[in-house]
């Protein structure tokens, strides 16, 4: 789904590479944590996947496309297959929850009736049923991130990129967000998440790709945040082995036991109830060209957009609108 072949990125002549000869292969449906110190190249990796940046060496392939050969006019189409979630949520402050999510469909030209049915389904899935009319400032941080995830997922992208999605949230709220990302991943969506959050990584036990000054220094399945042997009291010890070919090494890590906060719990319960309701319904007709089998908990994707649509990509539109609103405020 995402392949980096000997990828390097040098931003400025003479500067050290932000990425240096990176080769990583992410399969369809995988969940990968990208970890590493500040400045190690995580965001650069994500920007290359989105083709916001181009490599100075090597090749990036996304969903079968060689991005170096992708003409500029096809970039919006590439980005429509990728949802993005940021640390600072980037919601449009003057739009309601419903409008924020609907906006992502409007900018790619989805018909109004599709938007009317799809948005409530996705909001229910993320546990925000009943909060459609609220403005972002009337929501908790965790709820705002749920809106951002709903916006990123509403068009059922093949890939979800998340850049520090829990960076502004407390540990218990973060856990709720991770459950949501995990649920989305289980529908077949490939998730790549850059993070500094060691508790989350240790709890989730997914593949971990660690960058250090632009190079991959570790690529392990079922892995923990750091390459350390645990020095904490061990709870529910689980031996974790390195990925094949990287020199097997057993690491024992503690399971973090966290109970969700009431607000998050409420959202969790709503999402679980939506899942249960959806599971008891007969499956709806598939209306997409996607090759993944959706879980019952997740609403059916919106109808494919008309061929030749000139709609811009969601990320750029959202960021532009964001800038416009901020500029208006500062004026
Ligand atoms: N647009 C840019 N122009 C010049 N240098 C850049 C640019 N973006 C990133 N860099 C440099 O590239 C290196 C990698 O940065 P990047 O943002 O990818 O790291 P990161 O791991 O995401 O860091 P953080 O965890 O702090 O977000 C850093 O040295 C950074 O200063």
Can you tell me the ipTM of this complex? 0.98
DSSP letter at 242? P
38-52, 100-114, 184-198, 238-252: which range is least confident on average?
A: 238-252
| pLDDT score of 291 more than 90 | no
Task: Delimit the domains of the chain by residue range.
Answer: 2-330
**Pocket residues: Cβ below 6 A from ligand 1:** 11-12, 18, 36, 38-44
Range 19-40 average pLDDT: 97
Please give the order of strands across the beta sheet that includes 2-9: 19-26, 2-9, 57-62, 65-66
Q: Identify the pLDDT of residue 272.
A: 62
State percent of the chain over pLDDT 70. Answer: 69
The pLDDT confidence band at residue 257, using thresholds 50, 70 and 90, is: very low
pLDDT (average), residues 234-257: 37
* Ligand 1 centre distance from Cα of residue 61 (Å): 21
Residue nearest to atom 2 of ligand 1 (CA): 11
Using the atom order of ligand 1, give the atom closest to the CA of residue 196. Answer: 25
Most confident of 259-263, 272-276, 297-301: 272-276
* pLDDT band with cut points at 50, 70 and 90 for residue 306: very low
- pTM of the entire predicted model: 0.77
Q: CA dist 31 to 66, 181, 194, Å?
A: 22, 9, 11
The highest-level CATH class for domain 2-330 is: alpha beta
- Tell me the average pLDDT of the chain: 80
Mean pLDDT, residues 2-23:
97
Please answer whether residues 195 and 178 qualify as being in contact, where contact means their C-beta atoms are separated by less than 8 angstroms: no
Distance 56 CA to ligand 1 centre (A): 15
Which range is least confidently modeled, 126-135, 163-172, 259-268, 320-329?
A: 259-268
Question: What pLDDT sits at residue 23?
Answer: 98
- Measured in angstroms, how far is the CA atom of residue 43 from the centroid of ligand 1? 7
Number of other residues whose CB lies within 10 A of the CB of residue 300: 17
124: three-class secondary structure by DSSP? helix
Give the C-alpha separation, 257 to 20, whole Å.
Answer: 37
Tokens at residue 26, please?
């992410």
């Amino acid at each position: 789904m995402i392949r980096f072949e000997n990828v390097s990125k040098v931003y400025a002549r003479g500067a050290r590479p932000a990425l240096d000869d990176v080769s990583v292969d992410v399969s369809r449906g995988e969940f990968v944590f990208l970890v590493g110190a500040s400045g190690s190249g995580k965001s650069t990796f994500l920007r290359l996947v989105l083709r916001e940046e181009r490599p100075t060496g090597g090749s990036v392939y996304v969903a079968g496309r060689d991005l170096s050969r992708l003409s500029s006019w096809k970039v919006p189409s590439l980005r429509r297959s990728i949802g993005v979630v940021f640390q600072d949520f980037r919601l449009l402050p003057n739009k309601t929850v419903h409008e924020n999510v609907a906006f992502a469909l409007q900018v790619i030209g989805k018909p109004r009736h599709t938007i009317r049915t799809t948005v409530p389904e996705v909001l229910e899935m993320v546990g925000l049923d009943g909060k459609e009319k609220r403005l972002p400032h009337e929501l908790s941080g965790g709820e705002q991130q749920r809106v951002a995830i709903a916006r990123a997922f509403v068009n059922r992208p093949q890939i979800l990129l998340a850049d520090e999605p829990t960076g502004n949230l407390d540990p218990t709220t973060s856990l709720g967000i991770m459950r949501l990302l995990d649920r989305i991943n289980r529908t077949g969506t490939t998730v790549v998440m850059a993070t500094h959050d060691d508790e989350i990584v240790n709890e989730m036990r997914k593949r971990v790709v660690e960058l250090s000054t632009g190079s991959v220094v570790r690529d392990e399945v079922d892995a923990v945040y750091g390459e350390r042997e645990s020095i904490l009291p061990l709870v529910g010890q689980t031996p974790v082995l390195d990925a094949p070919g990287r020199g097997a090494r057993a690491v024992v890590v503690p399971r973090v036991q966290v109970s969700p906060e009431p607000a998050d719990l409420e959202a969790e319960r709503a999402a679980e109830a939506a899942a249960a309701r959806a599971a008891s319904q007969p499956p709806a007709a598939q209306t997409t060209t996607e090759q993944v089998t959706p879980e019952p908990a997740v609403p059916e994707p919106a109808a494919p957009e008309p061929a030749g649509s000139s709609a811009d990509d969601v990320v750029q539109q959202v960021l532009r609108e964001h800038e416009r609103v901020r500029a208006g405020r500062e004026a």
